[in-house]
Amino acid sequence: MSLSRAESKLSMPADVYEAFKKDFQNGIITLGDVCSANCFFCSQKWNPPHVLKHLNRMLTLEEIEHFMDRHLKSPAWIGSAIHVNSGEFFCHPHVMDVLKLLVQKKRVECNNMITFTNAMELTEEKLEIIKELNLCLHVSLHTTNISHRTKIMGGTQKKHQNAIATLSLLKKYKIHHLILLVPLKQSITSGDFEATVRNLTEINTTKIVVHRPGYTKYTPAHVIKELSVPDNFLHQYCLFLKKKYSANISYGFAMSDTDMNKDISESLRNLMKDKRNFSKRRKLFLYPASVRNVFPGVLKSLGMENDGSHMVKSQVFAGNVDCAGLLLVEDYLAAVKEFFLHNKGPRPEEIILPRASFDINDEDLSMTPATQIEKIYGTKVHLCGKRAN
């Protein structure tokens, strides 16, 4: 891979350069994925080894400026894309300079830009500039109990005390935020989870989201066991806590079936409008497991129930991963192969995939282009819907 002269001045391997470039091109201001915590359930630890190669490296200030100036297109996130964990943005030694750069660079639109943080590194100085930029913080808190927090997240007691103290400062500076709690078996059974919700309502926390991190086939069994609290239970438990403490608490960020239905129908209608003779051609729709309850119904409502459709299981990440954002070309190729094995009729003339699996260059997380499927099967591939971020 050859780099331009200016690019080659940065001393990093070409594939790492390309990986950072891709993040910035996709509107993700990432400084590297180093974190000040070490949560035992962190999904970043168990990614497939051949994707996201640039993890665990901190960019220098010079490198950050380079990527911001040359490659930042449409900022939407600080830290990382929605589909992967990203370390702690605010533990970067030059984070204040980066925040100041964001203030100076008028072309960067930061309003309500979502930034994940464990709050361990936040200071009043940082909060003042966060306020000025109008960032929205998603605070990974998990518990208000300092010793429990230290046990599950690692790090020093002092840093965790800082995180808890920061909760009141978020109010003081009127910073738009929500609190994320990971539902661990041990926290629920020990009563720590409920105590945390009670403590948060006492300090008038505006919004609490109970969010289960993803796990993959690389995640050890003891971690999966701690995360395996049934969905039904969590829904009911959140309703119980909401009522008991008048808490603004909800389970997960997932869209409702009705919203998903509306979203997919609209995307497919737009695709039909854009492509000539689309409705007459034999199609194969590949969809992620996250939409399995609505997808067949949408096809029926659009009169496309006789076209082929196949649910794609994540094989690269596997584990509990079911969203389009973490499906790779490798997964789609396996799904097409399986579909052809069980369907001996005429081959489809078009394959339709969710756009959410691909970036602005139509490449997946391992930088493999969607057109790879076209090359292998000789069938036209269309991307449909919104991108993941």
* Residues within the interface to ligand SF4 (CB under 6 A): 35, 37-39, 42, 44, 85, 87-88, 118, 140, 153
Q: Tell me whether residue 118 or residue 261 sits nearer to ligand SF4 (CB atom).
A: 118
Q: Tell me whether residue 37 or residue 381 sits nearer to ligand SF4 (CB atom).
A: 37
Residue 210 token pair: 């109970």
State in angstroms the smallest separation of the CB of 229 from ligand SF4.
17
Would you say 30 and 13 are in contact if contact means Cβ atoms under 8 Å apart?
no
State in angstroms the smallest separation of the CB of 85 from ligand SF4.
5
State in angstroms the smallest separation of the CB of 192 from ligand SF4.
17
The DSSP 8-state label assigned to residue 324 in this structure reads G
Q: Tell me whether residue 119 or residue 291 sits nearer to ligand SF4 (CB atom).
A: 119
Residue 191 token pair: 């009563």
d(CA 193, CA 181): 8
For tokens 């000789």, the residue is: 378
d(CA 337, CA 331): 10
d(CA 23, CA 299): 33
Q: Tell me whether residue 44 or residue 379 sits nearer to ligand SF4 (CB atom).
A: 44
Scanning 173-283, the segments in alpha helix (DSSP H) are 185-190, 192-202, 221-227, 231-245, 257-274
Q: Tell me whether residue 152 or residue 351 sits nearer to ligand SF4 (CB atom).
A: 152
Bridge partners of 139, per DSSP, are: 117, 179
Q: Tell me whether residue 118 or residue 290 sits nearer to ligand SF4 (CB atom).
A: 118
State in angstroms the smallest separation of the CB of 244 from ligand SF4.
27
Amino acid in the structure at residue 101 = L
Q: Tell me whether residue 44 or residue 372 sits nearer to ligand SF4 (CB atom).
A: 44
DSSP string, 114-165: EEEE-STT--HHHHHHHHHHT-EEEEE---S-HHHHHHHH-S-HHHHHHHHH
d(CA 324, CA 370): 13
State in angstroms the smallest separation of the CB of 175 from ligand SF4.
18
Would you say 353 and 325 are in contact if contact means Cβ atoms under 8 Å apart?
no
State in angstroms the smallest separation of the CB of 249 from ligand SF4.
20
State in angstroms the smallest separation of the CB of 251 from ligand SF4.
18
State in angstroms the smallest separation of the CB of 153 from ligand SF4.
6
State in angstroms the smallest separation of the CB of 295 from ligand SF4.
31
Quote the Cα angle for 169-78-251, to 5°: 70
Exposure of 28 in the CB half-sphere (CA atoms within 13 A): 24
Q: Tell me whether residue 37 or residue 321 sits nearer to ligand SF4 (CB atom).
A: 37
Q: Tell me whether residue 42 or residue 181 sits nearer to ligand SF4 (CB atom).
A: 42
